[in-house]
Amino acid sequence: MPDRRAVLIINRNARSGAEAYEAVVAALADTDIEAVLPEGETTDASVAAAATNADMLIIGGGDGTLNHFAEAAVAVGLPVGVLPLGTANDLARTLGLPTDPVAACAVIAAGHTRRIDLGEVNGKLFFNVASIGLSVEVASRLTKQFKKRWGVFSYPFAAADAWRAMRSFRARITADGSQQVLRSIQIAVGNGRYYGGGMSVSEDAAIDDGVLDLYCMEPRTIARMAALLPAFRAGRHRANEAVHCLRAPEIRVETSRPMRVNTDGELTTVTPATFRIVPRAIEVFVPAPAEDASEAG
pLDDT score of 229 more than 80 = no
Say whether both 99 and 128 belong to one domain. Answer: no
User: Torsion angle, CA of 137/186/193/243, rounded to 10 degrees?
Assistant: 150
Structural domain ending residue among the three candidates 53, 86, 111: 111
Confidence of residue 297 (pLDDT cuts 50, 70, 90): very low
Say whether both 273 and 153 belong to one domain. Answer: yes
How many domains is the chain built from?
2
Instruction: Calculate the alpha carbon distances from 44 to 84, 113, 172, 179 in Å.
Output: 20, 23, 35, 38
CA-nearest of 258, 242, 259, 251 to 182 is: 242
The CB density around residue 197, as the number of other CB atoms within 10 Å, is 23
Say whether both 159 and 63 belong to one domain. Answer: no
pLDDT score of 275 more than 80 = yes
Mean pLDDT, the chain, rounded, equals 87
Q: What is the CATH number of the domain that holds 228?
A: 2.60.200.40
Say whether both 29 and 79 belong to one domain. Answer: yes
Say whether both 160 and 71 belong to one domain. Answer: no
Say whether both 128 and 274 belong to one domain. Answer: yes
Strands (DSSP E) contained in the chain are: 4-10, 33-36, 56-61, 80-84, 113-121, 124-126, 129-133, 169-175, 178-184, 186-190, 194-195, 199-200, 212-217, 243-248, 250-255, 260-263, 266-270, 273-285
pLDDT score of 240 more than 80 = no
Say whether both 159 and 40 belong to one domain. Answer: no
- Spatial neighbors of 178 by CB under 8 A, at least 6 apart, are none
Say whether both 176 and 61 belong to one domain. Answer: no
The pLDDT of residue 266 is 87
Structural domain ending residue among the three candidates 83, 111, 139: 111
Q: What is the CATH number of the domain that holds 103?
A: 3.40.50.10330
- Sign, Cα dihedral of 35, 40, 44, 49: negative
Structural domain of 28 = 4-111
pLDDT score of 153 more than 70 = no
Task: Give percent above pLDDT 70 in the chain.
Answer: 83
Task: Give percent above pLDDT 90 in the chain.
Answer: 61
Angstrom distance (rounded) from CA 248 to CA 180: 14
The pLDDT of residue 291 is 47
